[in-house]
Amino acid sequence: MRIQVILRVIGILVMVFSLSLIPPIIVSLIYQDDTLGAFASALAINLLSGFLIWFPVRNQRADLKIRDGFVVTVLFWFVLGLSGSVPFLISTDPVLTFTDALFESISALTTTGATIITHIDGLPPSILFYRQQLQWLGGMGIIVLAVAIMPMLGIGGMQLYRAETPGPVKDSKLTPRIAETAKALWYIYASLTTVCAVGYWLAGMTLFDAICHSFSTVAIGGFSTHDASIGYYNSVAIEVVCSLFMFISAINFGLHFYAWRNQSVLHYFKDPEARFFIFILFCTVTLTTLGLTLTATYDWDLAFRYAVFESISIATTAGFGTSDFSAWPHFLPFLLIVTSFAGGCASSTGGGMKVMRILLILKQGVREIQRLVHPSAVIPIKVGGKAIPERVVSAVWGFFSAYLIVYVILMIGLMATGIDQVTAWSAVAATLNNLGPGLGDVSANFAGINDPAKWMLCFSMLLGRLEVFTLLVLFTPMFWQR
Amino acid sequence: MRIQVILRVIGILVMVFSLSLIPPIIVSLIYQDDTLGAFASALAINLLSGFLIWFPVRNQRADLKIRDGFVVTVLFWFVLGLSGSVPFLISTDPVLTFTDALFESISALTTTGATIITHIDGLPPSILFYRQQLQWLGGMGIIVLAVAIMPMLGIGGMQLYRAETPGPVKDSKLTPRIAETAKALWYIYASLTTVCAVGYWLAGMTLFDAICHSFSTVAIGGFSTHDASIGYYNSVAIEVVCSLFMFISAINFGLHFYAWRNQSVLHYFKDPEARFFIFILFCTVTLTTLGLTLTATYDWDLAFRYAVFESISIATTAGFGTSDFSAWPHFLPFLLIVTSFAGGCASSTGGGMKVMRILLILKQGVREIQRLVHPSAVIPIKVGGKAIPERVVSAVWGFFSAYLIVYVILMIGLMATGIDQVTAWSAVAATLNNLGPGLGDVSANFAGINDPAKWMLCFSMLLGRLEVFTLLVLFTPMFWQR
Ligand SMILES: [K+]
Ligand SMILES: [K+]
């Protein structure tokens, strides 16, 4: 372990992060919302903290190895979670405890979008902007993590995507590849955000709202500047823009990268994961529309409109809302939240287990049936015509079961603090899948639950974002040997 | 497919089953409970039906092949479910609809032990005896299924147990092996039942209750002759006998078979699955005792007593009760029902996914972490010092995911009929794990739920008992080709 090199990276990270407080300061100056001091202090605190971490180890330069990658990745999210909470702690509106400030910050950075704030419409514009920007930065981090780092670490079968990332593959050095990949992804991510913001603006949002919502849409974060979320606008045009960009952002950014380099579009339609994702969405929209119509919750046209938006919003794990879906007949919110376990495609800003893994699991299920009927046949699992290595398949299984075991343990933990089963079930789904909204006591926001539960949910959000194993591996003695 | 040979087997099965109505007839004669006619009619109906199935194909003799095994196994449970429901339909106490009679019969035969009857204490003795005997016969069927048939069919990794079953292994002919194995298992099963009955009787039950409860204990069925189940007696001695025999019956009958043939006991303590099962029970008892004490639900001595009994009862999927555990602080019933997913050991009368599969899944999880730390190492999964073939491991994964996918689909189905989430969650667990008791609206019995839900739960009980794949495979076009 190259602790000092890692500390140097983290120090730089915190200093760079402190610069992200400049845009909220500008917003505060424009709107004169009395939050200038909070952001200026937060900037100073973060800059100084970063400097103090960095200065003693500033000359420690060495390439990081793959094993260091786990530590850097986990520290990245923990430290930024802490840094990001500073403005919430200092600001006088909202007034948040340390637990709440950290919860809000981690929820933003992991693009979960669960909030403990109960009066979003009344917040100062700079705080609103900051929350949205935090999601956007988190989304950027996730893309780099998902496209460049996870495949190298080999988390849950993601080594499958190694060949698709740019740069030399055989190399175990992290730094050069991340830098190269990150730059390309940055262009794609920023372009998508810009087009999304223009789309929202043309669809009728104010410029401020358009920019803010473009941040949380492309990040699949789900934070909004209004308590009623996208439902505030009651505009089909805005819902269409939102749905479109949630969908695009939930597609593998490796495909966007390919499109950007090769000026191609056809490859999207050939991608088995994207096709399966569309299939999932199609089924969910159909079932939800039928469910809402047959139970006479809405007429079919309104049912279809809500079904399309909520299905895409929940299945991509964005978590925006146009209707209080927790008040629908119970099997519909349950069904929708189940789709969030699939979540977005691999290497996207979406959460959940990722569509590719669910696809592999279903293919394996079919293979097991084939094996029962033809016990002696050798049947490889193929995706898009290519056989998947058994090692990747077993890593996906490992991921799937670890995910579910963690899920059940977190649920029991929450229920032990006195939370009811439906709330606990949905709260873990909302956080582990980085979805955002839940049911029961957390259907509007997470303010009402107890502090130990909030800490568990913070951990759950990080576990989900770090694909469980990146974080779990640090708790094993094996990792720290040698 | 040798349809006619299969029909011949089924015809004989129904005729033999009709003989099982003789003991209830004797009970009815002893207690003069006016149910004689119902059982006599049911005997006649079943004998005649069996004869009509058998007679046209009586000369069709051929050895069945492995693929036929799936059809015979599934038909076995469907047909006996139907045959077993006849006395419930004819009897005037209880008065049951066809749906309810079938539910009760399938619940008994699959040793689920969920009941739709609301006044068990008031039932005629012959009906009480019949319900218990039906569970006992089901348990016998399960043992043969689990020890002799499942390993040959290779369901969910159970080919692992092929070597442990007696007789020639390479042979694909079903009949001779089943006969040989079934005979040996019959002795063991009957002996256990006898000792259990004597135990109950010495502990203070009436002879009638002792025999009835020995049937449902060794079968891990959970039916009782009292609404209050084992809690009716409020006797530590009876709880000890019950716990002991639930535990013994949840151990792999292959081990009992080995003990019977080799006069050995030591091998029990060396078996990794049995050891892990004891570990699960130890953890559950500890957590439950702590939970009940810390929440001041009971004093520690009563907490310990209830914790031991309910943990063993739920973890083995027996489902007997001494306390209304659904009224405990919510996380405890949740935790207990989660243990029922592990269920008993493979090749026992227990339900759930089986302890061995959970053990393999956890070992695979650990291996994934090892692989992350040492990406180039080749690490086999070992149980009891022996490496498990990758094929078995992947079959276990396939089983695990199919189980959970079926679980979620059934839950959505139940909730679509208007059932709340907690009831639906526990009802599927109660049936798919062949556990019996649930929470919410099904904590006392299953009488209150709607008919479509009861049909889904019947299907769920059969799916659980047939280890999902045996039943699912029949729905694939692949199975019926050629
Ligand atoms: K989200
Ligand atoms: K049972």
At A404-444, the pLDDT tens digits run 999 999 999 999 999 999 999 999 999 999 999 999 888 88
| For residues A458-472, average pLDDT | 92
Q: Taking CA A477 as the corner, what is the angle to CA A471 and CA A478, rounded to the nearest 5 degrees?
A: 90
Q: How far, in whole angstroms, is CA B97 from its chain's centroid?
A: 24
Q: Taking CA B406 as the corner, what is the angle to CA B401 and CA B407, rounded to the nearest 5 degrees?
A: 95
Q: What is the pLDDT of residue B369?
A: 84
CB atoms B365 and A402 under 8 Å: yes
At B121-143, the pLDDT tens digits run 999 999 999 999 999 999 998 88
Q: Output the CA B221–ligand 2 centroid distance in Å.
A: 4
E strand or H helix at B383:
strand B382-383
CB atoms A67 and B373 under 8 Å: yes
CB atoms B369 and A400 under 8 Å: no
Annotated binding site of B: 111-112, 220-221, 317-318, 434-435
Neighbours of A377 (CB within 10 A): 9
DSSP one-letter code for B467: T
Instruction: Please list every residue in chain A whose beta carbon sits closer than 8 Å to the beta carbon of residue B371.
Output: 154, 395
Kindly report the nearest CA distance between residue A166 and chain B, in angstroms.
21
Confidence at B176, pLDDT banded by 50, 70, 90: low
The secondary structure of A309-362, three-state, reads HHHHHHHCCCCCCCCCHHHCCCHHHHHHHHHHHHCCCCCCCCCCCCHHHHHHHH
Nearest to A153 among B70, B372, B476 (CB): B372
Instruction: Please list every residue in chain B whose beta carbon sits closer than 8 Å to the beta carbon of residue A422.
Output: 421-422
- Name the average pLDDT for chain A: 89
Residue of higher predicted confidence among B182 and A340: A340
Confidence at A177, pLDDT banded by 50, 70, 90: low
CB atoms A469 and B398 under 8 Å: no
Say how far apart CA B200 and CA B213 lie, in whole Å: 8
Confidence at B164, pLDDT banded by 50, 70, 90: very low
At A342-379, the pLDDT tens digits run 999 988 999 999 999 999 988 888 888 888 888 878 88
Instruction: Please list every residue in chain A whose beta carbon sits closer than 8 Å to the beta carbon of residue B291.
Output: 416
Confidence at B393, pLDDT banded by 50, 70, 90: confident
The secondary structure of chain A, three-state, reads CCHHHHHHHHHHHHHHHHHCCHHHHHHHHHHCCCCHHHHHHHHHHHHHHHHHHHHHHCCCCCCCCHHHHHHHHHHHHHHHHHHHHHHHHHCCCCCCCHHHHHHHHHHHHCCCCCCCCCCHHHCCHHHHHHHHHHHHHHHHHHHHHHHHHHHHHCHHHHHHHHHHCCCCCCCCCCHHHHHHHHHHHHHHHHHHHHHHHHHHHHCCCCHHHHHHHHHHHHCCCCCCCCCCHHHHCCCHHHHHHHHHHHHHHCCCHHHHHHHHHHCCCHHHHHCHHHHHHHHHHHHHHHHHHHHHHHCCCCCHHHHHHHHHHHHHHHHCCCCCCCCCHHHCCCHHHHHHHHHHHHCCCCCCCCCCCCHHHHHHHHHHHHHHHHHHHCCCCCCCCEECCEECCHHHHHHHHHHHHHHHHHHHHHHHHHHHCCCCHHHHHHHHHHHHCCCCCCCHHHCCCCCCCCHHHHHHHHHHHHHHHCCCHHHHHHHCHHHHCC
Beta-carbon pairs below 8 A across chains A and B: 134
Instruction: Please list every residue in chain B whose beta carbon sits closer than 8 Å to the beta carbon of residue A399.
Output: 368
Burial per residue of A87-118, b for 16 or more beta-carbon CB atoms within 10 angstroms, e otherwise = bbbbbeebebeebbbbbbbbbbbbbbbbbbbe
Say how far apart CA B246 and CA B378 lie, in whole Å: 40
Half-sphere exposure of B401 (CA within 13 A, CB side): 28
Nearest to B331 among A329, A335, A412 (CB): A412
The secondary structure of B432-466, three-state, reads HCCCCCCCHHHCCCCCCCCHHHHHHHHHHHHHHHC
Cβ proximity of B7 and B53 under 8 Å: yes
- Ligand sitting nearest the alpha carbon of B111: 2
Kindly report the nearest CA distance between residue A476 and chain B, in angstroms.
8
What one-character-per-residue DSSP string does B290-349 give?
HHHHHTTSS-HHHHHHHHHHHHHHHHTT----SS-GGGS-THHHHHHHHHHHH-S-TTSS
E strand or H helix at B156:
none
Which of B78, B71, B76 lies closest to B2 in space, CA to CA?
B71
- The set of long-range contacts for A178-186, using a CB threshold of 8 Å and a minimum separation of 24, is A178/A144, A178/A148, A178/A149, A181/A144, A181/A147, A181/A148, A182/A144, A182/A148, A184/A257, A184/A260, A184/A261, A185/A140, A185/A143, A185/A144, A185/A147, A185/A148, A185/A253, A185/A257, A186/A140
CB atoms A399 and B70 under 8 Å: no
Instruction: Please list every residue in chain A whose beta carbon sits closer than 8 Å to the beta carbon of residue B469.
Output: 368-369, 372
What one-character-per-residue DSSP string does B28-85 give?
HHHHT-S-HHHHHHHHHHHHHHHHHHHGGGTT---PPPHHHHHHHHHHHHHHHHHHHH
Tokens of B413: 């189905």
Neighbours of B210 (CB within 10 A): 21
pLDDT at residue B73 greater than cutoff 80: yes
- Ligand sitting nearest the alpha carbon of A139: 1
pLDDT at residue A448 greater than cutoff 60: yes
Which of A331, A371, A379, A423 should we substitute to test contact with B (largest number of B Cβ atoms within 10 Å)? A331
Kindly report the nearest CA distance between residue B391 and chain A, in angstroms.
10
Q: What is the pLDDT of residue B259?
A: 86
Q: Output the CA B368–ligand 1 centroid distance in Å.
A: 28
Say how far apart CA A370 and CA A380 lie, in whole Å: 11
Q: What is the pLDDT of residue A170?
A: 40
Kindly report the nearest CA distance between residue A373 and chain B, in angstroms.
6
Kindly report the nearest CA distance between residue A101 and chain B, in angstroms.
28
Instruction: Please list every residue in chain A whose beta carbon sits closer than 8 Å to the beta carbon of residue B67.
Output: 373
SS3 B234: coil
| For residues A8-19, average pLDDT | 91
Confidence at B381, pLDDT banded by 50, 70, 90: confident
What lies within 8 Å, CB to CB, of B481 at 6+ separation is none
Tokens of A148: 């460049």
Say how far apart CA A438 and CA B203 lie, in whole Å: 50
Q: Output the CA B113–ligand 2 centroid distance in Å.
A: 5
Q: Which amino acid is at A380?
A: P
How far separated are the first and last CA of chain A, in Å rounded? 9
Kindly report the nearest CA distance between residue B354 and chain A, in angstroms.
15
Confidence at A236, pLDDT banded by 50, 70, 90: very high
Neighbours of B55 (CB within 10 A): 10
Annotated binding site of B for K(+): 111-112, 220-221, 317-318, 434-435
Nearest to A331 among B154, B338, B412 (CB): B412
Kindly report the nearest CA distance between residue A371 and chain B, in angstroms.
9
Confidence at B398, pLDDT banded by 50, 70, 90: confident
Nearest to B368 among A368, A395, A416 (CB): A395
CB atoms B402 and A331 under 8 Å: no
Burial per residue of B410-424, b for 16 or more beta-carbon CB atoms within 10 angstroms, e otherwise = bbbbbbbbebebbbb
Say how far apart CA B79 and CA B105 lie, in whole Å: 11
Beta strands in B133-270 (DSSP E): none
Nearest to B398 among A154, A364, A469 (CB): A364
At A302-337, the pLDDT tens digits run 999 999 999 999 999 999 998 888 889 999 999 999
Tokens of A303: 């049912």
At A40-56, the pLDDT tens digits run 999 999 999 999 999 99
Q: Output the CA B166–ligand 1 centroid distance in Å.
A: 55
Q: Output the CA B414–ligand 2 centroid distance in Å.
A: 20
CB atoms A371 and B330 under 8 Å: no
At B41-56, the pLDDT tens digits run 999 999 999 999 999 9
CB atoms A402 and B335 under 8 Å: no
Give the percent of chain A with pLDDT over 70: 95
Residue showing tokens 């704030």: A117
CB atoms A365 and B67 under 8 Å: no
Tokens of B275: 């050891």
Nearest to B373 among A155, A425, A479 (CB): A479
Q: Which amino acid is at B60?
A: Q
Annotated binding site of A for K(+): 111-112, 220-221, 317-318, 434-435
Q: What is the pLDDT of residue A147?
A: 73
CB atoms B478 and A329 under 8 Å: no
Beta strands in B185-232 (DSSP E): none
Nearest to A373 among B331, B369, B473 (CB): B473
pLDDT at residue A143 greater than cutoff 80: yes
CB atoms A375 and B154 under 8 Å: yes
Kindly report the nearest CA distance between residue A332 and chain B, in angstroms.
8
User: How far is residue A208 from each of residues A19, A197, A212, measured CA to CA in Å?
Assistant: 20, 9, 6
Instruction: Please list every residue in chain B whose beta carbon sits closer than 8 Å to the beta carbon of residue A357.
Output: none
Q: Output the CA A137–ligand 2 centroid distance in Å.
A: 52
